[in-house]
Amino acid sequence: MQNARDTFYVMLRDRLAAISPARTMVLRGVTRPGVLVEENELASAAMPVNVFCLQWAGLSVDTQGALPLVTMVCEIRYATDGDSGNGGMDRGRLLSGMDAELVAALGAVPHHAMKMNYVGAAGGSGLAPVAMATNVFWNDATFGAAVANGERVERVATVEVFSYQEAGEL
């Protein structure tokens, strides 16, 4: 399951970086694409703005087939305070722009990615990720309502992510 989550994250990060290269964040002194996985980061009191935050919220396994089919629910949270040059009065427009980026990234062909094992590549080892035998695939996002939270406007989009559990995979 972790390999599928990692693969989905890397796919989404790379696609969003290609769609909007200016959407970056600085995390622990490193500038990187504006996508993060909450479970992989240090706890933070507030959700960062203008960044896509992935949180894995659900899991089911269907063991009826030749390989178990894993279905995971990924919540993608994002928010904006608007542009300070516009006094934040463009926050709805900026949130809509993030909606469009997410739709484009998830809707781009193909709707699947080769599942990769990133364990050996972790920690700056310099090793390449290893391709696995199956794919990760996903459906279109379901968008929750935009919610005003003080000067910030936030949204949660939900995506179901699927993969087959390979032998020996956790």
> Average pLDDT, whole number, for the chain?
89
Q: What is the pLDDT of residues 46-80, one digit of tens each?
A: 678 899 999 999 999 999 988 999 999 999 999 99
Pairing of strands 35-37, 52-62: parallel
The CATH class given to the 2-164 domain equals alpha beta
Q: What percent of the chain has pLDDT over 70?
A: 89
Report the range of poorest mean pLDDT among 31-45, 65-79, 149-163. 31-45
Q: Judge whether residue 120 has pLDDT over 80.
A: no
Residues 15/9, Cβ–Cβ less than 8 Å: no
Neighbouring CB atoms inside 10 A of 13's CB total 19
Q: Using the structure block, give the residue that is written with the tokens 């928010």.
A: 79
Q: Judge whether residue 8 has pLDDT over 60.
A: yes
- pLDDT value, residue 61: 92
pTM, two decimals, is: 0.91
